[in-house]
Amino acid sequence: MRRLQAATVLCLLLASPAASRTVDESVTLEPGEPVRIDIAFGELKIVGTDQARLRAHGEIDEGLSGLRLARDGGALEVRTKLPFRSWLRRLRHDEPRAAVQLTIELPRHTPLFVVTREGLVDVQELSGRLGVVTVAADVEIRGALESVAVESVSGDIELRGGAERWSAHSLSGDVRLWGDGGGLALETVDGAIEVRGANLKGRLRTVSGTVLFEGDVANDGLLEIDTEAGPIEVRADTRAQRIDLLTDRGRVVDRRPDVEAPLPDQRSLLAGDGGGTLRVRTFSASIIMQGPASEGPPSQR
């Protein structure tokens, strides 16, 4: 829904040739030179390449006077240039809602930091460290990265691929991860958390959002899921890991096909003896234990 709203705003801003202008700027980067992208509104597609330069091209709102690529504080900074009359508004964090639709290409291993307010951040093919801070933009990251840290207020976060460390915090946005290995630190207040993958460890924590975990814990690793009031669904193979579920005020529902129905007031479940441990705790919510995904489509479980 939020993405639809952002797309509508972008279409309105960029559909008419009179409302936008084309930009194409580039600069050569030193190996390993960090980049900071600070653009408040719009759609940013960021792509890793084998080139040694950063190139930013696309459309910007006519209310902006151009793009600024300049070195500042040990990093190359990409910003939109505001007309002189709007500088005071930027200082007051009240800049005009002038959107962009940009593709930014840069060397794959560039350490990158993105700050934005609304719209969409789509990152592909990067392999270094990545940090994104946003208020309401949706964030999509695909690739095999060294580490990823995303912080949002209400934007959704979608992570696909591998990283040594995934960190994503959102207040009300949803966090979804399809991961192959890595340490997780995913946290929301009332946004949902969904994790699908193998060889995972770390922690998923929410206050009242729902949690779905489907996959396997790393061998000898520990994956903890903790909620206050958010219901939890686990789809995991007990032959591949040790499962330890406990709810204080809710109940555990065991829906594995080869297990008899548990007592209605069951509050804990211990199963499996594999190398990794999945430990699930909740104060007042229920926990549903399912078999692994291969046992049938999710809609029937």
Nearest to 209 by CA among 253, 172, 247: 172
**Among 20, 80, 101, 167, which residue interacts with another protein (rule: CB under 8 A)?**
167
Spatial distance between the Cα atoms of 182 and 200, rounded to a whole number of angstroms: 5
> Is position 169 an interface residue for another protein (rule: CB under 8 A)?
yes
Chain residues 17-46 in contact with another protein, contact rule CB under 8 A: 34, 38
**Among 24, 30, 72, 164, which residue interacts with another protein (rule: CB under 8 A)?**
164
**Among 63, 96, 111, 272, which residue interacts with another protein (rule: CB under 8 A)?**
111
CB closer to another protein, 64 vs 136: 136
Spatial distance between the Cα atoms of 269 and 85, rounded to a whole number of angstroms: 63
Q: Which residues contact 299 (CB under 8 A, 6 or more apart)?
A: none
CB of 49 to another protein, least distance (A): 20
CB of 17 to another protein, least distance (A): 27
CB of 227 to another protein, least distance (A): 9
b vs e for 80-98, b when ≥16 Cβ sit within 10 Å of the residue's Cβ? Answer: bebeeebeeeeeeeebbeb
Q: Which residues contact 128 (CB under 8 A, 6 or more apart)?
A: 108, 109, 110, 111, 112, 145, 146
b vs e for 3-17, b when ≥16 Cβ sit within 10 Å of the residue's Cβ? Answer: eeebeebbeebbeee
> Is position 147 an interface residue for another protein (rule: CB under 8 A)?
yes
Q: Which residue in this structure is represented by tokens 């234990």?
A: 289
How many residues line the site for another protein (CB under 8 A)?
44
**Among 54, 121, 148, 287, which residue interacts with another protein (rule: CB under 8 A)?**
148
Q: What is the DSSP code string of 113-143?
A: EEEESEEEEEEES--SEEEEEESS-EEEEEE
Chain residues 217-256 in contact with another protein, contact rule CB under 8 A: 228-229, 248-249
CB closer to another protein, 43 vs 214: 43
CB of 294 to another protein, least distance (A): 30
Residues at the site binding another protein, with contacts judged by CB under 8 A: 34, 38, 92-94, 111-113, 115, 117, 129-131, 133-136, 146-149, 151-154, 164-165, 167, 169, 171-172, 183, 187, 189-190, 205, 207-208, 228-229, 248-249, 283-284
